[in-house]
Structure 1
């Protein structure tokens, strides 16, 4: 090969090597031209298909009363009971809502178990039975709305459940419950009725032990159920206080309701044997979840959390008075 041809060949060879260097996929110089990476398709060996999320427990659009249950799963409720401004009707009224809440937390702590949470409750008597007729001649009076509002607000802020307790004298439970609709529209507010203080014409509270028929209970629960469903509220408690079988007439006719957890709260006091005997006589776990009251002053040898946990049928709601 002649000289000029040899020089041309060398130049061509050099250009070829230089081009190869810049098109080599393994070349790492800044600005080098890279071959496009292969696009990974989900499900190929390069990128495994993503695991689909677990379906929700309840479908979207499920009413709140079905998805937000009032009783903790496998847990229980622990309450302070009373009315504002006095300790004579229960421990809740001995102090302010926030101070009562701190005391309640200490009382509730021993009831907690692993995987069994405890939810604090204020059970507030908002309609109080009287021994005199009063201006309405119904032997009952409502406490001030502003006082109830303070507990509604405090319970919401503190993460507690508020249960409005009715002692209605000669007035139908439903009539009185409707007066508290403004509070029961709140998601964290539930309702309790106390038949001991529901007396008939010619009777007076504290002179007789009152009672309620299943029909009046059912009318009240039907109204409260509609309130829950129509306002798309979480499930509410409907508590029936009782310590004698005669206090709820025809109890077997009490109906379950959408949006309500019915709970029978057994209120007998005395020594442990007497309290358990009352509980076993009155309890209707076929209709209700079960509640149990502890009296600081009236009980002898006050039962503790371990003793309450041993009670059968199982107790889901404990209140201190």
Structure 2
């Protein structure tokens, strides 16, 4: 009788433990899916190449990402900016509910243009802004208070949007600025971006000339993000680098890829369609790393030449097709 009672107690304990574990898995959004569908991944990256004949796309050196990767299973459509300035991008131009409604309208446009690729909305927030004035730290940058980063994350929640934290280092470095954001980057929905335009390695004031990052800077970020994924058991991070000139990213061929980080080279130039296509061809498509992005400017793209932005269909016809889209 005692043995029967022991067995019953053990079964009850085991059932309770399994239930608790199942509940923990449901509640913990940082736990990774069991496996990656590599066949589907291969099919999707081949589709993104759009029949490219140069042999550069899809990139052959790219490792398979860890399970839970967003790209290329989804396209990301992001609103860019800073809440302190209406001139830095659409993210800070409108009241949050209006901004979110506009973003979701763009999401629908992209889903209609490419019904095979679901879209995730995102807020791409500039949390370190370059400054013409040296400031108290002498680094020609202004770090946003954590309260503003908190606000960006809260703004994303009603539409379940991703959040990108973007830095313009000025006279500082990625080694100095990135670790300050770990409390946010350990969140599974928060990703990262850097802007070489405002990395003033030669000592020029931001805005006077275009800055630069080297592959060594980019590899530092990749290694750091990968270490966070391992430390906190996170799905892969998306890492966006903006670019519209050759000098903005040096030694691109030395950029290292990592299964915990999905790298996006984002074409950041503005102007009429033909100019943007040329910039994309020479500085993004022509120097392949992993995935590509494309920025559309509501105002600057229509300043000169044709008074229109490129349409989603036009952007999707590029070789390769961008998987990350940003509106400023």
Instruction: Using structure 2 for the length normalisation, give the TM-score.
Output: 0.76
Q: Which residue is 1:302 aligned to?
A: 309
Equivalent residue runs for 1:42-81 within 5 Å: 58=35, 66-71=66-71, 73=73, 75-81=74-80
* CA RMSD between the two structures: 1.7
Post-superposition offset of 1:260: 0.6
Q: Could you say what secondary structure the match of 1:233 adopts?
A: coil
- Structure index of larger Rg: 1
CA distance in 1, matches of 2:136, 2:282: 38
Q: Which residue is 2:291 aligned to?
A: 289
CA distance in 1, matches of 2:199, 2:183: 23
Say which structure is richer in helix.
2
Residues 1-57 of structure 1: CA deviation (Å, up to 9, x unaligned): xxxxxxxxxxxxxxxxxxxxxxxxxxxxxxxxxxxxxxxxxxxxxxxxxxxxxxx97
Q: Could you say what secondary structure the match of 2:115 adopts?
A: coil
Q: Could you say what secondary structure the match of 2:323 adopts?
A: strand
Q: Which residue is 2:322 aligned to?
A: 315
CA distance in 2, matches of 1:314, 1:234: 24
Post-superposition offset of 1:308: 1.2
CA distance in 2, matches of 1:173, 1:224: 12
Residues 161-207 of structure 1: CA deviation (Å, up to 9, x unaligned): 10001001011112101111111111100000000000025311000
- Check conservation: 1:128, 1:167, Cα contact below 8 A: yes
- Check conservation: 1:121, 1:160, Cα contact below 8 A: yes
Equivalent residue runs for 1:223-238 within 5 Å: 223-238=224-239
Show structure 1 runs of 5+ residues with no match.
Answer: 1-55, 60-64
- Check conservation: 2:75, 2:117, Cα contact below 8 A: yes
Closer, same or farther: CA 151–213 of 1 in aligned 2, 3 Å: same
Greater relative CO, 1 or 2 (CA 8 Å, sep 6+): 2
1:105 aligned to 2:112? no
CA distance in 2, matches of 1:317, 1:101: 18
Q: Could you say what secondary structure the match of 1:152 adopts?
A: helix
Instruction: Using structure 1 for the length normalisation, give the TM-score.
Output: 0.77
- Check conservation: 2:169, 2:199, Cα contact below 8 A: yes
CA distance in 2, matches of 1:95, 1:179: 28
Q: Could you say what secondary structure the match of 2:179 adopts?
A: helix
- Check conservation: 1:72, 1:119, Cα contact below 8 A: no
Q: Which residue is 1:259 aligned to?
A: 260
Q: Could you say what secondary structure the match of 1:66 adopts?
A: coil
Residues 72-91 of structure 1: CA deviation (Å, up to 9, x unaligned): 51x41111100013211000
